[in-house]
Chains A and B, each alone.
Chain A
Amino acid sequence: MSLLVIAEHDNASLKTATLNAVTAATKIGGDVHILVAGSGCGAVAEQAAQVAGVAKVRVADAAHYADQTAENLAALIVANASGYSHIIAPATSNGKNTLPRVAALLDVAQISEIISVVDADTFVRPIYAGNALATVKSSDATKVITVRTTGFDAAANSGGTAAVEALAAAADLGQSKLLGRELTKSARPELGAAKIIVSGGRGMGSGENYHKVLEPLADKLGAAMGASRAAVDAGFVPNDYQVGQTGKIVAPQLYIAIGISGAIQHLAGMKDSKVIVAINKDADAPIFQVADYGLVADLFTAVPELVAAL
C-alpha cells in the first residue's frame, strides 16, 4: 500500500503542516510518498526527502505550479493518483482548496480535517464547530483526506533518505491566474506552529490598542498573535489572525485570550490548547468555562501589569 502526501510549500521551503500530514500517513501505514508540485522547487524536494518515514519524493516542476492554483494542481494529482490508497494534504487553505477537487475527479468522498486515524478506512473528525466528533468509515477505493495539523505531531524533518523522482507536468489548464498576494509580514512565530499565542478580541477597542497593549506581551513571551472574528471584522488586524471554526485551528502550550467572550465558533479553534488563560472584565464571559486560569479585570490595566511581572 502506498500513500501520497501533498507538500505545502512556497517553492523555497517545506511548511511544517506537511510534517503533520506525514505523521497521519504513517499512522495509516504503508509507503509514504510526498508530491512536490511547484516551480523552481528543487530545494523543497530535497527537504521533503529528508523527512523521516518518507519512501519517495515525486516532483513536478513547472511554471504553472508556481502559485498552487487548484485547477492545475488537482489535475496533476489525479493524473498520478493510480496505485495510491490514500491521498493526503494538511488542512491549510491550499489543501482545502485543492483536495475536494481531486476527490470529485476521482468520484470519491473527501474526508475533511481528520484528527485521528482508527484504521486505514476509519477516521475521526470534528463536526458542528468541534461540538461533536464523528467517526466515519469510507467505502471508496481511494481515500482523499485533509489532516488537521493540531491532531498529529510533526514528523522529524531529518533522518530520511527518500529517493527523488521527477514527474511530467500535466497541461496548463489556464483557468485561473494569480494577480498578487498581500501576505502579512511578521517576525513572530506562525500561529499554527507557535508554542504561545496571545489573542485579542473586540474588547481591545481598536487596532491601535490591539498593537499597543498586546505586542509588548507577545514580545516578552515570544508568542504568535491571534484574534477573534470580531477583532478581524472590525479591522483591528488582518484576516489571517482569526482563530476559530472558520479561521485557524490552534493548540499551543499556552493560549491567552484577552477581551474575547468565548463564542463557540472561537472556542472551536483553540479549546485543545494545553493551558488557556482568559482576561476579561465580565465574570460571566463563557471563555472562563474553558480557561484554566481566569482573571476578571480590565485588560488595559491587567495586561501592562502582566508584561511588567514577566
Chain B
Amino acid sequence: MKILVPVKRVIDYNVKVRVKADGTGVDLANVKMSMNPFDEIAVEEAMRLKEAGKATEVIAVSCGVTACQETLRTAMAIGADRSILVETDVELQPLAVAKLLAAVARKEAPQMIILGKQAIDDDANQTGQMLAALLGWSQATFASKVVIGEGKATVTREVDGGLETIEISLPAIVTTDLRLNEPRYATLPNIMKAKKKPLEVVKPADLGVDVAPRLATVSVTEPPKRSAGIKVADIAALVDKLKNEAKVIA
C-alpha cells in the first residue's frame, strides 16, 4: 500500500518566538525553519511500515511557499520515495490544507495518510481530523502504536485518562503523538540521494481547491509576562512564603 505523509515547514522548536511590534504576527525573518517534529515522527513511522513490508511507497506532501521544498528533501532524506509540493504564497489554514491534501489523496489513492497530531506553530491539531472527514475515512489520532492488519489497522492512542486501542478500517488517517517512535537522523549519503528523488510541484488551482482563509487574524500579542520571583534560601523559608505570603497552603 501507498502511504502519504503531509509535512509542514515550521519555525524550529528551539527558536525563541518573538511577537512583531506591529502586532501582525511573529517574526519569521532569518529564523531557523524545520520540519514540524510530529511530522518527522510520521515520516519515520511510514518508513518503518515500508521496511516491515507493509507499505510499498511513501510520498511526502507539503503545502505552502517554495521553501517547503527543503522540508520535502528532508522527508526524502529520511526515506520517502518522492514528494509533492502544493505551492502557494497564500496563508494556509487547516481546512484549506485538508482540502489540498484530500485532492492529492484522491489522485494518489493511498491506503493510509500519517500526519502529525499538531503543528507547533499554529497549535491547531485539526488537519488530520478534517482530512478524514473530507475523505469520509476513519481516523486514529494521537497514535503511540500502529499495527497494520488485513484491510484494517490497530492503533493505540494517547488520551486524557491514559491509553486506548481502537481498530479502524482502511483507508484511514493516523496522527502521530510523541511516543510513536524516535525518528532516525538522515545520513549524508541519504541527503545526497534525496536531491535526486522526484519532487512534483502543483498549484491549488490545479487541484481545484479554494484556499482562502476563513479566519482573519485581528492581532497577535505577547502573553502577559510573569514577573520574576525570588530564590528562597531553604525549605523553612519556602514553607513560610507559601503559608504567609502566597497563602496557597494552610
A280 CB to closest chain B CB (Å) equals 11
Chain B residues positioned under 8 Å from A264 (CB to CB): 16
- Interface core residue of A113, A127, A289 (most chain B CB under 10 Å): A127
B130:A288 contact, CB within 8 angstroms: no
A239 to B169, CA, bound (A): 26
Q: Which of B44-52, B53-61, B213-221 contacts A (4 or more CB under 8 A)?
A: B213-221
Which of A177, A239, A245, A297 is the one whose CB lies under 8 Å from B167? A177
**A101 lies within 8 A of chain B by Cβ:** yes
Q: Which of B63-71, B76-84, B155-163 contacts A (4 or more CB under 8 A)?
A: B155-163
- Interface core residue of A110, A111, A288 (most chain B CB under 10 Å): A110
B223:A126 contact, CB within 8 angstroms: yes
Which of B120, B157, B177 is the one whose CB lies under 8 Å from A128? B120
For B243, the closest partner residue in chain A by CB is: A310
Chain A residues positioned under 8 Å from B88 (CB to CB): none
Chain B residues positioned under 8 Å from A309 (CB to CB): 235-236, 239
Chain B residues positioned under 8 Å from A254 (CB to CB): 242, 246, 248-249
Which of B16, B139, B166, B221 is the one whose CB lies under 8 Å from A101? B139
Q: Which of B103-111, B186-194, B196-204, B225-233 contacts A (4 or more CB under 8 A)?
A: B225-233
Chain A residues positioned under 8 Å from B132 (CB to CB): 70-71, 101
Chain A residues positioned under 8 Å from B177 (CB to CB): 239, 246
Interface residues of A in 84-117 (CB under 8 A from B): 92-94, 96-105, 107-113
Given contacts A132-B223, A238-B162, contact A104 B130 (CB under 8 A): yes
- Count contacts between A and B, CB distance < 8 Å: 252
**B126 lies within 8 A of chain A by Cβ:** yes
A295 CB to closest chain B CB (Å) equals 5
A70 to B140, CA, bound (A): 9
A293:B230 contact, CB within 8 angstroms: yes
A98 to B248, CA, bound (A): 37
Chain A residues positioned under 8 Å from B17 (CB to CB): 128-129, 131-132
Q: Which label, helix, strand, loop or mixed, suits the secondary structure of the A interface?
A: mixed
Given contacts A135-B218, A176-B166, contact A128 B121 (CB under 8 A): yes
**B125 lies within 8 A of chain A by Cβ:** yes
Chain A residues positioned under 8 Å from B236 (CB to CB): 309
A240:B158 contact, CB within 8 angstroms: yes
Which of A176, A248, A296, A302 is the one whose CB lies under 8 Å from B169? A176
Which of A118, A240, A295, A305 is the one whose CB lies under 8 Å from B162? A240
A290:B139 contact, CB within 8 angstroms: no
A100:B161 contact, CB within 8 angstroms: no
* Interface bits A10-21 vs B (CB < 8 Å: 1, else 0): 000000000000
Chain B residues positioned under 8 Å from A174 (CB to CB): 169
Q: Which of A24-32, A43-51, A158-166, A271-279 contacts B (4 or more CB under 8 A)?
A: A271-279
A295:B235 contact, CB within 8 angstroms: yes
A270 CB to closest chain B CB (Å) equals 11
For B128, the closest partner residue in chain A by CB is: A100
Which of A104, A127, A196 is the one whose CB lies under 8 Å from B121? A127
Chain B residues positioned under 8 Å from A83 (CB to CB): none
For A97, the closest partner residue in chain B by CB is: B141
Which of A104, A105, A233, A302 is the one whose CB lies under 8 Å from B178? A233
B231:A296 contact, CB within 8 angstroms: yes
B248 CB to closest chain A CB (Å) equals 4
**B19 lies within 8 A of chain A by Cβ:** yes
Which of B144, B162, B178, B217 is the one whose CB lies under 8 Å from A136? B217
Chain B residues positioned under 8 Å from A168 (CB to CB): none
A81 CB to closest chain B CB (Å) equals 13
B33 CB to closest chain A CB (Å) equals 13
**B241 lies within 8 A of chain A by Cβ:** yes
Given contacts A176-B139, A264-B16, contact A127 B122 (CB under 8 A): yes
A293:B242 contact, CB within 8 angstroms: yes
**A82 lies within 8 A of chain B by Cβ:** no
B248:A253 contact, CB within 8 angstroms: yes
Q: Which of A33-41, A52-60, A137-145, A202-210 contacts B (4 or more CB under 8 A)?
A: A137-145
Chain A residues positioned under 8 Å from B241 (CB to CB): 293
- Interface core residue of B118, B125, B128, B167 (most chain A CB under 10 Å): B125
B129:A97 contact, CB within 8 angstroms: yes
For B98, the closest partner residue in chain A by CB is: A104
B125:A100 contact, CB within 8 angstroms: yes
Given contacts A109-B215, A111-B215, contact A276 B123 (CB under 8 A): no
A297 to B237, CA, bound (A): 13
**A74 lies within 8 A of chain B by Cβ:** yes
A14 CB to closest chain B CB (Å) equals 15
A295:B214 contact, CB within 8 angstroms: no
Chain A residues positioned under 8 Å from B121 (CB to CB): 127-128
A136 to B215, CA, bound (A): 6
Give 9 CB contacts A-B under 8 Å. Answer: A74-B133, A108-B214, A136-B215, A139-B214, A178-B164, A283-B231, A289-B226, A293-B241, A295-B234
Hey, which bits of chain B sit against chain A, CB under 8 A?
11, 13, 16-17, 19, 26, 93-95, 98, 117-118, 120-134, 137-142, 144, 154, 157-169, 177-179, 214-223, 226, 228-232, 234-236, 238-239, 241-242, 246, 248-249
